[in-house]
Amino acid sequence: MRLTDSVVLITGGARMGEAIAASLADRGADIVLTYRTSEKSALKAARSIESRGRRSIVIKADLAKRGVAAQVISRIKKVFGRLDILIHMSSVYEEQSLAHLTARDWQRHLETNLTSGYEVALRSVPLMKGSGSGRIIFVTDWTVESGRPRYRNLVPYYVAKSGLKGLTEVLALELAPAILVNSIAPGPILPPRRMSAKAKREVAIETPLRRWGGAEEIAKAVMFLAESDFVTGESIRVDGGRHLR
């Protein structure tokens, strides 16, 4: 796909989304950014996009709520009249022991990590088909691509992200040939803000490439999937070999 003058929707993705947006803008894309709580990150990304001479709009949206995805797509249609690429990064990651897991915890993870992806993808399809083609890229998790859970206390998160991988595959089949659907499974890309220096070092040691990847590595994977015309139904693991341990 040619990215010049394309319109891209990036949902969520604080920190990683900034690098992806900058890379897309460098290739001539206009960007729509949605956020639920990370307004500062979204506005920073928007300024970066505009400094590159491209257009950007920022929308506060909780995509886990019914009807919100439709509102976002309606706004994009009104402002740009088209949508070429969806990069769905909205996610929640919360640890909770199985013994204390509530129905609300379960529902929140599934609605945010899985259902929101289905809803925004479904709403994006008519606009993409109107342009003749499209790309949908979901963000899953390296543990899902490893084929088994690696950590305790992440039951609903792991289940939701596994569902997102399944959604990638079935939508790739359903939407071919006009729309290509893939996912990216990040490993140690950016350490959590409150992670100790010791914990950061331990993760790096457990990663065969001996370092954290950085958001730019995810941006590179996005560029590949956005520009490729013959890859669909795939999940690309970007984890520095972490799954090998």
119 contacts: CB under 8 Å, gap ≥ 6: 63, 69, 70
| The pLDDT of residue 110 is above 90 | yes
Residue 244 maps to a domain = no
Residue 60 maps to a domain = yes
**What is the strand order of the sheet 30-35 is part of?**
56-60, 30-35, 7-12, 85-89, 134-139, 179-186, 235-238
- Taken as a whole, the chain contains a residue count of 245
Residue 169 maps to a domain = yes
Binned at pLDDT 50, 70 and 90, residue 15 comes out as confident
Q: Report the distance separating Cα 187 and Cα 190, nearest Å.
A: 9
Phi, psi dihedral angles at 86 (to 5 degrees) = -115, 125
pLDDT digits (tens, 9 = 90+) for 178-212: 999 999 999 999 988 889 999 999 999 999 999 99
Residue 98, burial from CB neighbour count under 10 angstroms (0-12, 13-18, 19+)? exposed
Q: Report the distance separating Cα 181 and Cα 85, nearest Å.
A: 10
| The pLDDT of residue 220 is above 80 | yes
* CATH number where 197 lies: 3.40.50.720
Distances (CA, A) of 18 to 123, 193, 227: 24, 16, 19
Half-sphere exposure of 209 (CA within 13 A, CB side): 13
Residue 243 maps to a domain = no
Residue 144 maps to a domain = yes
| The pLDDT of residue 13 is above 80 | no
Residue-range definition of the domain harbouring residue 177: 7-237
Residue 242 maps to a domain = no
Residue 2 maps to a domain = no
Look up tokens 């919100």; give the residue. Answer: 68
Give the three-state DSSP class for 15: coil
User: Do 137 and 120 touch, CB atoms closer than 8 A?
Assistant: no
Q: Which tokens belong to 219?
A: 């941006």
Count the domains in the chain: 1
Q: What rounded mean pLDDT belongs to the chain?
A: 94
DSSP state of 113: I
Q: Which tokens belong to 37?
A: 């709580």
pLDDT digits (tens, 9 = 90+) for 59-107: 999 999 999 999 999 999 999 999 999 999 998 888 888 889 899 999 9
Q: Which tokens belong to 160?
A: 């939701």
Return the active site residues. Answer: 157
pTM value is 0.95
pLDDT digits (tens, 9 = 90+) for 126-174: 999 998 999 999 999 999 988 888 888 889 999 999 999 999 999 999 9
Residue 1 maps to a domain = no
Alpha helices in 95-227 (DSSP H): 103-110, 116-131, 142-145, 155-175, 197-206, 215-227
Q: What is residue 150's predicted lDDT score, i.e. its pLDDT?
A: 84
User: Do 185 and 145 touch, CB atoms closer than 8 A?
Assistant: yes
